[in-house]
Amino acid sequence: MAQQCLYWVDIYNHWVYQFDPATGQTRYFDVGGVVGCLAIASNRRLLLALRHELAVLDLATGELTPILSVEADKPYNRFNDGKCDVAGRFWFGSMSTQDAGGSLYRYDLDGSLHQMATGLTISNGIGWSPDNQTFYLTDSADQVIYAYQFDLVSGAIAQQQVLVDLSLADLIPDGLAIDAEGCLWSAIWDGWCVIRFSPEGKELARFPLPVQRPTACTFGGTDLKKLYVTTASVGLSEAEIQASVFSGDLFCIHTDVVGLPTSTFAGALN
């Protein structure tokens, strides 16, 4: 999918958005249920993680085709954030409203599914270092970003370590993006900002936003220097919405660093 378009989801309104920055045109696709994340695939299609299943959305027709049921036996879980690695595999995680019952999954090019981590509460922002030696995973409930050793060939992860711990600052990391210098950009839920961290986990800079709940971010634009940030209004009181009237809007931060490009799903979707 070569066009310069931005895709994101509205989880509880059940929408997938397609935005063309060149024309300002936005398209909406109603997928009929909770949608956690997506990956761009071939032939004008998107791979979606819904509440308890993976599905394919045809952008030409709007047709939604379920392909795999996951965690259907866990009614308190739903899928949340996800992303593809450079080998084209789709990584996505689940979150639980009851306990640490969430998991991280990897969906391979041949259609096989692998459970990669367990014991998560709110599996969230995912990313990889520029050299593909490190995998990053956020657990928002624990207020941490984990780092793992990553094997690009096999897709294995190992030796989980806490890279960023925001519990003492009482900040909640949400979605994340990685730049070409290996730094992590984390959207801070209820924090009114995006924070840039070094590969060693040190805070480098904060980028304030006029909204309380940034949710995710990704680099885009022809030079990959624009950081697009999604935000939420869900759960805010009337007073909080009045103090954060642009909640739920899409923002763009113009940066002076180059981001890593978004990888697409490389498997066949029949």
Kindly report, residue by residue over 106-121, the tens digit of the pLDDT. 999 999 999 999 999 9
Q: What domains lie within the chain, and their CATH numbers?
A: 6-254 (2.120.10.30)
pLDDT reported for residue 253: 98
pLDDT reported for residue 21: 87
Rounded Cα distance between 187 and 21, Å, is 21
pLDDT reported for residue 236: 96
Whole-number mean pLDDT of the chain? 96
Residue 1 predicted with pLDDT over 80: no
Question: Which residue, 25, 62, 56, is CA-closest to 42?
Answer: 56
Rounded Cα distance between 147 and 52, Å, is 26
Kindly report, residue by residue over 214-250, the tens digit of the pLDDT. 999 999 999 999 999 999 999 999 999 999 999 999 9
| Helical spans, DSSP H, in the chain | 238-243
Percent of all residues in the chain with a pLDDT value above 90, rounded to a whole number: 94
Kindly report, residue by residue over 147-170, the tens digit of the pLDDT. 999 999 999 999 999 999 999 999
pTM as predicted = 0.96
Rounded Cα distance between 100 and 93, Å, is 12
Q: Mean pLDDT across the stretch 10-36?
A: 95
Percent of all residues in the chain with a pLDDT value above 70, rounded to a whole number: 99
Residue 23 predicted with pLDDT over 70: yes
pLDDT reported for residue 269: 85
**What Å distances lie between residue 232 and 23, 95, 189, 191, 223, CA to CA?**
24, 17, 9, 12, 27
pLDDT reported for residue 17: 98
Residue 138 predicted with pLDDT over 70: yes
pLDDT reported for residue 204: 99
Residues labelled catalytic: 174
Radius of gyration of the chain (CA): 17
Q: Mean pLDDT across the stretch 164-184?
A: 99
4 or 187, higher pLDDT:
187
